[in-house]
Amino acid sequence: MNAQIEIQIILSLVAIACAIPGVFLVLRKMSLISDAISHSILPGIVVGFFITQDLASPLLILMATLTGVVTVVLVEYIQKTGLVKEDTAIGLVFPSLFSIGVILISRNAGDVHLDVDAVLLGEVAFAPFDRWMWNETDMGPKSLWMMGTVLLLILTLLLLFYKELKVATFDAGLAASMGFVPMAIHYGLMTVASITTVGAFDAIGAVLVVAFMIVPAACIYLLTDNLKKLLIYSSVLAVVCSLVGYWFASVWDTSIAGTIASVLGLVFFIIYLTAPGKGYFSQWYKEKQQKTEVALLVFLLHLANHDEEQERNINHLQEHINWGAQRAKKVLKLANQNNMIAIENDIISLTNKGLDFTKQAIAYISDNKNSELEGVKQRFFLFRG
Amino acid sequence: MKQKIAIAVDDLTVAYNYKPVLWDIDLQIPEGVLMAIVGPNGAGKSTLLKSILNIIKPLAGSVSVYGKSYKKQRSLVAYVPQKGSVDWDFPTTALDVVMMGTYGALGWMKRPGINEKKQALEALEKVGMLPFQNRQISQLSGGQQQRIFLARALVQNAAIYFMDEPFQGVDATTEKAIIQILKELRKAGKTVVVVHHDLQTVPEYFDWVTFLNVKKIATGPVADIFNDDNLTKTYGINYKTSIVQ
């Protein structure tokens, strides 16, 4: 296997291993905790490295994972005091732990081959050089094995506890009443997020782990309303972005992890703009349509309220409802097209259909709780486009 | 007639940050009643439900379900939390939410199958939501969301149902439909406990009532204890049932 392929396999493993717990972090509105974990594992990594001198050793992973879980516990403890809100608690905990790591590294900089840059930014390009030799046999890069193990662990846990994760994330109260112990599930997820971060920092750096966890989930969240699809497509998107980013980085000779994270950011921006339903353009269009619908309703209501002919003259429409000529024309056209109005000698009057619609629409607006008026909502859509 | 006791609460005290929310509550809920828990905001109504359901750890006291601890009787109990306590933008469908009602009986690690789906579809039909089974839950109206929650509780096929403000933010039609189903549950011998806000409807909807305001004020049949005296004790101001009704 050549180094390029090895790097791409490692990146794909990292991508999926991050995307899966990331989905649950996003759904639980805990995205920031991944940022906290990614920084505060530093002291764990440093101490582990002093002891083992090996970034892929299980002891180091264990210690760093523990630091990650400790971060979560501390954040929650501070939050529970009620003195500060969650974001402040996060801001209090992780810089403290992170700075302990920085001091440890700078105190011992001469003795160890570990620096803050390596931990924060990682360098997957070096991953193929650090190989696992077993009885003189080359078993491949250590980080490939490590990430493979982490991913296998994540997939196993996901398959076993999918149902529990889902119910505890959606409705912790129900989960608790059924005996699923949401607290245990919460800390399980936090532990998995920590293990993933620790496993991935060597390849892509602790900080960019956050991008791998949050961005794919945030992208697909705009596109689907199915949890399984959210998990699968987030993983696929994460892998595709990793590979695309890798090749851009190779061509441009830039940081691999940095380029991948940029690709992820760009993809999110595109999806945010174009996502059907939740995206920017879609929302903008919907708002515009709603404006037109309201205008139409105002117009119809005006007609229903006034018997006087001068109030209903097509040429005086503008001054009476106080609209610009274009808007008035548009609304008039829309109402006419849908047979809501009839025009005779420049006098506009409501047709029976128009009258009926106006009545229902008013009833719906004044009591939008009535489920029997659900049909009116649908008929509003008739006017779109 | 001596009724069996479904839920017994003994000397229950619950505190948040050492401030008591529930104080020395003794409460017995007989089997087969449709009971309202009423009281002002902050009276501890939801907390009482959550303590009975072991979601909150009490500072003192105990709860038993048919004479045994809640943990042993979990399968007998269904719970409908406040609608506002969950994120309705969660990526899931109406059917899927109702299926969650079967998770408790399945236990850890077992997956729902065809049988569970069948139960969920039946429950959806009962609450009149079958046509909406594949609708994303954020696309449902407030009343429809509450019906989904009720269907999820029905799927749990329990003996005791706890509902936290099921009529909050729902339309009149849904309120009628829900109370209809709750009355059917009582007829089938189930016990239903509802945290309720609208005092006007207490005599019409319920046959049992508990007045709560940190302490238990009174509990018993609506016909006997739903009166000016207890309302005033609970709400502090001079309440008159004549005005309320």
- What was the ipTM of the complex prediction? 0.93
Q: Is the dihedral of CA B101, B107, B111, B117 positive or negative?
A: negative
pTM, two decimals, is 0.89
Is the model's pLDDT at B178 over the cut of 80?
A: yes
Q: What angle (nearest 5°) sits at the alpha carbon of residue B240, between those of residues B237 and B241?
A: 135
Please give the Cα distance from B143 to A238 (Å, whole number).
38
Query: What integer pLDDT is reported at residue A383 of this predicted model?
Result: 42
- The number of angstroms, rounded, from the C-alpha of A32 to the middle of its chain's C-alpha atoms is 11
The total number of residues shown for chain A amounts to: 385
Please give the Cα distance from B101 to B122 (Å, whole number).
12
Contact B4, B33 (CB under 8 A): no
The total number of residues shown for chain B amounts to: 245
Residues A163, B103: C-beta atoms closer than 8 Å = yes
User: Average pLDDT over chain B, rounded to whole?
Assistant: 92
Q: Which residues pair with A137 in a beta bridge?
A: A134
**A158: nearest CA partner in chain B:** B109
Query: What integer pLDDT is reported at residue B144 of this predicted model?
Result: 92
Is some CB atom of chain A closer than 8 A to the CB atom of B208?
no
pLDDT in tens, B95-143: 999 999 999 999 999 999 999 999 999 999 999 999 999 999 998 988 9
Listed in sequence order, the DSSP H helices in A53-131 are: 58-80, 86-107, 116-121
Query: What integer pLDDT is reported at residue A367 of this predicted model?
Result: 58
Contact A211, A31 (CB under 8 A): no
For chain A, which residues lie within 8 Å of any Cβ of chain B, measuring from their own Cβ?
Answer: 27, 29, 82, 160-164, 166-167, 169-171, 173-180, 221, 224-227, 229-230, 369-372, 374
Please give the Cα distance from B44 to B140 (Å, whole number).
30
In order of their start, the domains of chain A are 3-277 (1.10.3470.10), 281-379 (1.10.10.10)
HEC string of chain B equals CCCCEEEEEEEEEEEECCEEEEEEEEEEEECCCEEEEECCCCCCHHHHHHHHCCCCCCCEEEEEECCEEHHHHHHHEEEECCHHHCCCCCCCEHHHHHHHHHHHHHCCCCCCCHHHHHHHHHHHHHCCCHHHCCCEHHHCCHHHHHHHHHHHHHHCCCCEEEEECCCCCCCHHHHHHHHHHHHHHHHCCCEEEEECCCHHHHHHHCCEEEEEECEEEEEEEHHHHCCHHHHHHHHCCCCCHHHHC
Residues A225, B91: C-beta atoms closer than 8 Å = yes
Q: What is the average pLDDT across B81-104?
A: 95
pLDDT in tens, A139-168: 888 889 989 999 999 999 999 999 999 999
Contact residues on chain B for A180, CB-CB shorter than 8 A? 103, 108
Please give the Cα distance from B207 to B35 (Å, whole number).
6
Is the model's pLDDT at B67 over the cut of 50?
A: yes
Regions of chain A with pLDDT less than 70 = 1, 109-113, 364-385
The helix (H) or strand (E) run that includes residue A348 is strand A347-350
Q: Which residue has the higher pLDDT, B241 or B132?
A: B132
Coil, helix or strand at residue A113: coil
Q: B215-221 and B19-30: which strand pairing? A: unpaired
> How far are the Cα atoms of A55, A106, A126, A292 from residue A131, in angstroms, in the given order?
12, 27, 10, 65
Is the model's pLDDT at B243 over the cut of 60?
A: no
Query: What integer pLDDT is reported at residue B78 of this predicted model?
Result: 96
Query: What integer pLDDT is reported at residue B196 of this predicted model?
Result: 95
Is some CB atom of chain A closer than 8 A to the CB atom of B97?
yes
Contact B25, B39 (CB under 8 A): no
End-to-end CA gap in chain B: 30
**The two structure tokens encoding residue A57:** 């050793």
**The two structure tokens encoding residue B93:** 């469908």
Contact residues on chain A for B136, CB-CB shorter than 8 A? 225
Contact residues on chain A for B104, CB-CB shorter than 8 A? 177-179
Query: What integer pLDDT is reported at residue B239 of this predicted model?
Result: 65
pLDDT in tens, B221-236: 999 999 989 999 998 8
Residues B93, A167: C-beta atoms closer than 8 Å = no
